[in-house]
Structure 1
């Protein structure tokens, strides 16, 4: 497994776990209230920050436990990275358009923030799953 594939696994895990924690906390706080009334902003910021920090720490630990591993990127790594990023970015666009339409429609900021967070998470998940798939299943000619 290449260093870049390991990084994709780390980022995938961090995105899924942090979003799961966010959902669990927000839904747990609801207690029968409507979701827009639940305080969410602090939890959202903390889970995003914790996800980024956890991925950085995990990548540092990965580097420390495999000091002799090559971190050089070859052409294949760069192409897989680009394809995975392009695949994942579709959800960033979807989230931006959805948030814009929701804002124009007067939706509550809770829903707008959550659709953006969901699409960022889906972007990370889809992009990293694509990278892992390309590493595992070969590199198709598109």
Structure 2
């Protein structure tokens, strides 16, 4: 497995884990308190920070294990890796834009900041997750022929 592909897997796992933790922490409050009293800021900050740390730890750990298994493996990106990275970013950014536009519309409608913040959060999540899935599909099956 290529170095960039391992990092993509680590980022996918971390982003999914962070989002699940955030939803588990915040969703129960939606039924207990009014929306403007839901504590969502710090759970979001900590789950984003935790997902970043988890991604780094997974990448380093996986890299160490791969290096022990095959010490001759190179850790440089070639042209194919760069094209796959560009491909995943291009797909992922579409979902980031959707999240930002959703937040903009919600702000125009003057809804609670909970919904605006979560629209941006889930836009970031979808960008990372779907962009990562696109990268992995390119690594495993090649680029789609559009």
TM band (smaller chain): over 0.9
Distance (Å, rounded) in 2 between the aligned partners of 1:36 and 1:121: 23
| TM-score, length basis structure 2 | 0.91
Alignment of 1:68-87 (within 5 A): 68=71, 69-87=73-91
Flag structure 2 segments of 5+ consecutive residues without an equivalent: none
Runs of 4+ in 1 over 3 A off after TM superposition: none
1:31 Cα deviation after fit: 4.6
Flag structure 1 segments of 5+ consecutive residues without an equivalent: none
| TM-score, length basis structure 1 | 0.93
Distance (Å, rounded) in 1 between the aligned partners of 2:125 and 2:117: 12
Aligned partner of 1:139 among 133, 136, 143: 143
The Cα offsets for residues 53-91 of structure 1, whole Å up to 9 and x where unpaired, read as 110111111222222232111110000000001100001
Structure 1 match to 2:10? 10
3-12 or 77-86, which deviates more = 3-12
Alignment of 1:26-37 (within 5 A): 26-37=26-37
How much is the aligned-residue C-alpha RMSD, in angstroms? Answer: 1.3
